[in-house]
Amino acid sequence: MDFSIPPELDELRARTAAFVRDKIIPLETDPRQGRHGPTDAFRRELNALAAAAGLLAPHVGTEWGGLGLSHVGKALVFEEAGYSLLGPLAMNISAPDEGNMHLLEAVATPEQKERFLRPLAAGQVRSCFCMTEPAPGAGSDPAALATTARRDGNHWVINGVKWFITGAEGAAFAIIMAKGEDDQATMFLADMDSPGIEVVRAMDSLDQGFPGGHGVVRFTDLRVPASDILGEPGKGFRYAQVRLAPARLTHCMRWLGAARRAHAIAADYARRREVFGQVLGAHEGVGFMLADNEMDIRMSRLAIWQTAWVLDQGRSGGTESSMAKVFCAEAIWRVVDRCVQTLGGQGVTGETLVARIFREVRGFRIYDGPSEVHRWSIARRVMKQGANW
């Protein structure tokens, strides 16, 4: 593996870092941010800033207004964007839209791309991905999918309930996973204002960084024309992996940037705060935490880059992305937790951004598969193929 950074990507990384520092960080205290995320008007303003800087949706192909970044390119740019919690939103590379754009670009028909992908990449609309269900439906086990799709002439009729649907409130369209009469999963595209779709409620959550929050969505005799099937009928689980393997990794990239921000705040405090006759960071208890942060940040970046390289070789990268997701989610959590401890009382207040980052990153160990489920999957592969695959 060649870890050298091409000059054009290094320039783009530096340009992204400058954009976040100069244009986005000053807006972090904007009041248009509530319990269920930033308002849509605020998001549009942020997107306009990114568009003016030539940094809107850089992950999609040039025909859709992006820069066509490789996975390694995304690793560099997304980390810098994540240095502010508003950075990924501004650049239109936050979840779930970023993953949905990737899926649409890979699977959708030309007509579907014009209708759904183009306005999404331009930041004109938001989207949601409807897969997770209340018990006994699909959660960590997608095979438990309970939402049904029944063929009726040239339409499909969908019934079921989804929850933890990020961005449901205010989304223009949804990608819906449902099980057909043959027990195979199919993905459908549907406008969120279609008769038969109801956003029942928003769910209060620890994190507050996603526009539209996390919602409960009910489908009651939703009629979807066959032309709005995403990909081929019965291949929904396969397409889910097309979306989820890279999406797990882009989560790692963005949250690594946030962990770096928390670490920078804590390290600066440790260099200035004097206790017991010397600066805080000179005490081994604190200095060692900062050293451990450096190691967790460095190793997380290496895990991301290695997995990005695998994906850029055209391999599925499912197991690699699972390992990177587990390692990064837990390492990033450790980094931010140590930052809270270093800051002491300030770490649990709004005096710095660290408490907010702490709340946001906790869910990462659950989103896109809890660490325990990924470990179980990795262990099954070890038992099947041995420990040296």
> What is the tens place of the pLDDT at every residue in 256-303?
999 999 999 999 999 999 999 999 999 999 999 999 999 999 999 999
Strands (E), 167-302: 173-179, 185-191, 197-203, 214-225, 229-230, 274-275, 278-279
What per-residue confidence (pLDDT) applies to 389?
52
Tokens found for residue 364:
């990462």
What is the domain-level CATH number for residue 29?
A: 1.10.540.10
Overall average pLDDT of the 58-78 stretch: 97
> Would you say residue 119 lies in a domain?
no
Q: Which of 359, 362, 32 is nearest to 208 (CA)?
A: 359
> Would you say residue 360 lies in a domain?
yes
Give the contacts of 45 (CB within 8 A, at least 6 positions apart): none
d(CA 352, CA 125): 32
Q: Is residue 11 located within the same domain as residue 46?
A: yes
% the chain with pLDDT above 90? 92
- pLDDT higher than 80, residue 3: no
Provide the H-helix boundaries in 40-147: 40-52, 71-81, 87-90, 97-107, 110-112, 118-121
CB atoms within 10 A of CB 254: 24
- Amino acid 254 reads R
What per-residue confidence (pLDDT) applies to 385?
84
Q: Is residue 246 located within the same domain as residue 339?
A: yes
The H or E element that residue 349 is part of is none
Pair 216, 146: CB distance under 8 Å: no
Pair 160, 178: CB distance under 8 Å: yes
Q: Domain ends where: 206, 233, 260? A: 233
> Would you say residue 27 lies in a domain?
yes
- pLDDT higher than 90, residue 90: yes
Q: Domain ends where: 213, 233, 253? A: 233
Q: Which domain holds residue 345?
A: 237-385
Pair 145, 189: CB distance under 8 Å: no
What per-residue confidence (pLDDT) applies to 1?
67
pLDDT digits (tens, 9 = 90+) for 147-196: 999 999 999 999 999 999 999 999 999 999 999 989 999 999 999 999 99
Calculate the average pLDDT of the chain. Answer: 95
Q: Domain ends where: 178, 209, 233? A: 233
Tokens found for residue 357:
């980052």
Q: Is residue 181 located within the same domain as residue 90?
A: no
- Give the residue, 244 or 147, on which the prediction is more confident: 147
Q: Is residue 175 located within the same domain as residue 288?
A: no
> Would you say residue 283 lies in a domain?
yes
> Would you say residue 304 lies in a domain?
yes
d(CA 248, CA 323): 10
What per-residue confidence (pLDDT) applies to 245?
87
Q: How many domains does the chain have?
A: 3
Q: How confident is the model at residue 80 (pLDDT cuts 50, 70, 90)?
A: very high
Number of DSSP helices (H) and strands (E) in the chain, helices first? 12, 12
Q: How confident is the model at residue 388 (pLDDT cuts 50, 70, 90)?
A: low
> Would you say residue 1 lies in a domain?
no
> Would you say residue 289 lies in a domain?
yes
Overall average pLDDT of the 220-243 stretch: 96
Q: Which of 158, 143, 141 is nearest to 217 (CA)?
A: 158
Overall average pLDDT of the 232-256 stretch: 94
What per-residue confidence (pLDDT) applies to 191?
98
- Amino acid 209 reads G
What is the domain-level CATH number for residue 370?
A: 1.20.140.10
Q: Is residue 199 located within the same domain as residue 65?
A: no
Q: Is residue 227 located within the same domain as residue 241?
A: no
